[in-house]
Amino acid sequence: TSRRAAAIKKAISAGKHIYCEKPTATSLDEALELAELANKAGVKNGVVQDKLFLPGLLKLKRLIDSHFFGDI
């Protein structure tokens, strides 16, 4: 994560479209800068958050929310 923003900036500079894992940066300001750079460069860009919705992680969240494991 700490090196992702620099790599994204290089890709944008090279005119490459961006599709990356979240988070795109370590701060909101840096993430907004990346979005602005991508928009100005005219490259398509997006961030994937697929792991949040994997069945195993959803089940784990339900178990945690139901206090199955006790206090965590």
Q: Are 21 and 47 in contact (CB under 8 A)?
A: yes
Q: Which CATH number fits domain 4-65: 3.20.20.480, 2.60.40.10, 3.40.50.920, 3.40.50.720?
A: 3.40.50.720
Between CA 4 and CA 26 the distance in angstroms is 9
To the nearest 10 degrees (0 to 180), the angle between helices 4-13 and 28-41 is: 10
Output the pLDDT for position 21.
82
Output the pLDDT for position 42.
97
Task: Give per-residue pLDDT as tens, 22-46.
Answer: 888 999 999 999 999 999 999 999 9
Domain ranges of the chain: 4-65
* Average pLDDT value over all residues in the chain: 91
Output the pLDDT for position 34.
95
